[in-house]
């Protein structure tokens, strides 16, 4: 479903990676980075 998402398709691979949780042994993990090399993409709505 992520491959078909209109918003995600408008981002680069690196930007998209900041918005997707990754599976872990006990659920999922999503790190939010406010600045720097892996800064999480935010949308102005």
Domain range spanning residue 14? 1-44
Q: How many domains does the chain have?
A: 1
pLDDT for 45 equals 64
Read off the pLDDT of residues 1-23 as tens digits, 9 standing for 90 and up.
777 888 888 888 888 889 889 99
pLDDT top residue among 29 and 8? 29
pLDDT for 20 equals 87
Residue closest to 29 by CA, chosen among 38, 21, 20, 37:
21
pLDDT for 36 equals 92
Residue closest to 19 by CA, chosen among 3, 37, 41:
41
Would the pTM count as exceeding 0.95? no
pLDDT for 7 equals 82
Q: For residues 29-39, give the mean pLDDT.
A: 93
Element (H, E) at 16: helix 13-17
What are 23's two structure tokens?
A: 């599976």
């Amino acid at each position: 479903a992520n491959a078909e998402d209109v918003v995600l398709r408008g981002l680069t691979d690196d930007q998209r990676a900041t918005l997707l949780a990754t599976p872990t042994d006990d659920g999922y993990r999503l790190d939010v980075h406010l600045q720097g090399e892996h800064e999480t993409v935010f949308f102005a709505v």
